[in-house]
Structure 1
Amino acid sequence: MAPDLRAVSGHRSWDSDATGLVAQLRQRSEEFEQLWEEREVALRGSTGSGSCIPPSA
């Protein structure tokens, strides 16, 4: 779920509902916070879904 939300929130950074949901989940769930910090992003394409880890800055 965290990779999917990261993808959505990245595309909808202006959306206070999306960013608010992420903030609440990060605050209330240690597991979600750990998954969020892994910075995986879900990808959707013609071959299904997968995950990738973006290069470090």
Structure 2
Amino acid sequence: MAAVFALADRITVLVTGQAAFCGTPDEIRNHPEVRAVYLGDEDGDFKEGKHG
């Protein structure tokens, strides 16, 4: 993940094969649902279909 955040200008996060979230590395890194699902943050819950 560190390489993705270091190299990308924009990141699209896929959930069940569909684009769920899109943004800059900082926006994705700080998105609570992305953190909960992909980055191991236990403070948030992913709600499928909710896009930020």
User: Normalized against structure 2, the TM-score is what?
Assistant: 0.30
Higher Rg:
1
User: Normalized against structure 1, the TM-score is what?
Assistant: 0.29
When you count helix as a share of all residues, which structure comes out higher? 1
